[in-house]
Structure 1
C-alpha cells in the first residue's frame, strides 16, 4: 500500500473536512443583490432546507435605500448570513442600516439580526407582536438550536437578537422619506406574519405567505389563513412581489401559490367528506397537484400537508 505524499494527503484532508468546521474562516458565500425596483434590492437565496451545503442560507433578504439609511427585511438565518447581507449592502451604499423588519418567527429569516446590530447598534428591529412574544418565551433558542443542527454546527456562533418594536396590521412606518406599509394576516404561514409594502416602489415583501416554485412547511399556520393572505397580497396590485423563497415576480407568482394551497385544501376536504383517511387520499391529491409535483419540496411535504389539512378541516367542522 502506497503512502500518499504529505502535500497530497493534506489536500485530501482539506477536501474531506466538512465546510462547517469553522464559520469564521469560511464565511457564507456571497450572493449578489438584484435591484428589483428604484430603491429595492433582493438577495435571492438557494431553494431548499437549511443544510451544510447551503451554509444555512436559503431565504430572500431584501434591503431598501432611503434618503438617510437602509431598511433591511429578513437578514437571514445566522450571524454569518447577516454579515454576507451587509457585504452586499456595502457594495451599493455607505448609509447605515436604520431599520430591520423580520417577517415571522422562523429563524431562517431573522437570526441574521445579530450581524446588523453588531454593525449598527442603533438599528430598530421590527416584527409582529406575537413573533416577539414567542421568541422571548423560548422559540428563539429553539430556532438557534435547529439551525445549528441542520448545518452541522456551522451556525454555532449565532445568538438570537430578538426584535423589540411591535407593529400591527395597516400600520405605516415612515423613514428616510419612504413609507413601509404593514399587513399582518391572521392565521397565515406562521400566525406571527407581517408583509411589508415598500409604497414608493410598489413592492410587497410577503415573507413565507408566498413561495415561488418551492413547497415549504405550513406546520405552524393554516391553509385557510394562508389563502386569505395571498388574496390580500393580490388585492394590493403591486408591481412586484418578493416571496420568502424563490425569485421575485409579478402578481402571477402569488396567484400560482394560492392555486396550490386552495387546490390542496379543497381536494383534501372533498376526500375527507367522502370518508377517506389522509393516507388513502394521497394519490388523488397528488394527481390534482400534478403541475406542482416537480417543485423542490413537493414530495417531502405532500403527506404532511395532507395530514395538516385534515386536522384543520376537522377543527372547523
Structure 2
C-alpha cells in the first residue's frame, strides 16, 4: 500500500513538474493608463519560446477588459486570460485579432464564449489556412500546442470609433502585411496597437505581403496622433521610429527583389544578398530575407518573363 501511494505521489509530482515546464513567462508591462502589453521575444518559433514571439495587449476599461491578440496556442490564451483576470480583478469582455497569422490567433480557444472581433479578410484567412497553420505550429513548438484547436473570430470588427468603459477606441482597417490588417487606436490614452504592420528591430515577415499596400498603410499610421506605439513584434516606443524602420526595410526589400528579377538572378543568388548596415542590428534579417525571396520573388520573375505586349 505504501509503495502504491508513493508511486501515485511521484506521478502527481511528475505531472505537475511537466505542466510547470509549459508556463509562459508572462510579465505585464504597463504602457499607459489602464493599458498593458505582454511582450514576446524577437525570435523564430521554437520549442524554447513556445511560440511567444508576438506582442499581445489589453485595455482595462470600466466595463471589463479588451484583449488584442491571443497568442500562438491554447496554453498561451488560457494563461493570458488567467493572468489578466487575476491581476485586474475584471473579466475579459471582448477580443480583437489583428490578422490571421498563427502567433496572433491560436489562443482564441481560451476566449471562445466571448465576442472575438476581426476584419472579414482575417476571419476568411483563419478559415482557409488555420488548420495548416496549427499543424505547422505543432511541428515547430511541440507540446506547447497540446489540445489547441482553431477557433475563428465570431464577430465582424466595424471600422470607426466606439466608447467602451471610458475608453474611446477606434478600429482601423488596413492591408499590406495581409489582406486584413486591423489596428486599434485608443484616443483616450494615445496608444496605437499596430499589429504586424509595424516591426521594431525585428525583420518583417512577408508570407501574405503586398509591399505597395503595406507602404501605403504605414503612411496612414503616421497621420495618427499616437503617443505610444505597440508594434506586432519588438519593443514598445513613444515615437514613430519603428514605422520608419519598417518602411525603410520594405523599400530595401522591394528594391533588391525587383533589381534581381530584372537582372535574371536565381533565388539562391538573391537569398545571399548582404544585409545592409542599416539593418544589421535587426533580428532575423538574413533568415527573413530568405523567406521573403521564397514568398515574393517567383511573382516578380514571372512578371519579367511576360512578353512585352502582355506586360503592357
> What range describes the TM-score normalised by the shorter chain of this pair?
0.7 to 0.9
Q: Superposed, which structure 2 residues align to 1:165-176 within 5 Å?
A: 165-168=155-158, 170-176=159-165
1:77 to 50, 68, 72: 72
Which position in structure 1 is the counterpart of 2:62? 67
In structure 1, the gaps of 5 or more residues are 1-16
Which position in structure 2 is the counterpart of 1:248? 236
2:126 to 129, 132, 135: 135
In 1, the alpha carbon distance for the partners of 2:132 and 2:296 equals 25
Which position in structure 2 is the counterpart of 1:3? none
Partner SS, residue 209 of structure 2:
coil
In 2, the alpha carbon distance for the partners of 1:49 and 1:314 equals 28
What do the CA deviations read for 1:48-88 (whole angstroms, capped 9, x no partner)? 12211012221111000111100000121111111221243
Which position in structure 2 is the counterpart of 1:160? 150
1:260 to 249, 266, 274: 249
In 2, the alpha carbon distance for the partners of 1:158 and 1:104 equals 18
TM-score by length of 2: 0.84
What do the CA deviations read for 1:248-292 (whole angstroms, capped 9, x no partner)? 112111111111111221233244334544444555x535x3321
In 2, the alpha carbon distance for the partners of 1:113 and 1:251 equals 30
In 2, the alpha carbon distance for the partners of 1:233 and 1:83 equals 31
What do the CA deviations read for 1:90-137 (whole angstroms, capped 9, x no partner)? 3531111111000111111111122234xxx3x210001122123234
Which position in structure 2 is the counterpart of 1:231? 219
Partner SS, residue 42 of structure 1:
strand
What do the CA deviations read for 1:18-64 (whole angstroms, capped 9, x no partner)? x9x95x45342332111111121001011212211012221111000
Whether the 8 Å CA contact 1:293–1:299 is kept in 2: the answer is no
In 2, the alpha carbon distance for the partners of 1:113 and 1:41 equals 19
Which position in structure 2 is the counterpart of 1:301? 288
Which position in structure 2 is the counterpart of 1:103? 98
Partner SS, residue 243 of structure 2:
helix
In structure 2, the gaps of 5 or more residues are 1-13, 304-310
Which position in structure 2 is the counterpart of 1:58? 53
TM-score by length of 1: 0.82
Q: Superposed, which structure 2 residues align to 1:190-209 within 5 Å?
A: 190-209=178-197
Which position in structure 2 is the counterpart of 1:145? 135
Whether the 8 Å CA contact 1:56–1:77 is kept in 2: the answer is yes
Q: How many residues align?
A: 289
In 1, the alpha carbon distance for the partners of 2:168 and 2:299 equals 36
Which position in structure 2 is the counterpart of 1:10? none
Whether the 8 Å CA contact 2:75–2:144 is kept in 1: the answer is no
In 2, the alpha carbon distance for the partners of 1:130 and 1:76 equals 19
Partner SS, residue 145 of structure 1:
helix
Whether the 8 Å CA contact 1:195–1:205 is kept in 2: the answer is yes
2:23 to 7, 19, 28: 28
Whether the 8 Å CA contact 1:56–1:155 is kept in 2: the answer is no
Whether the 8 Å CA contact 1:237–1:251 is kept in 2: the answer is no
CA shift, 1:142, in A, is: 1.7
Which position in structure 2 is the counterpart of 1:273? 262
CA RMSD of aligned residues (A): 2.5
CA shift, 1:182, in A, is: 1.7
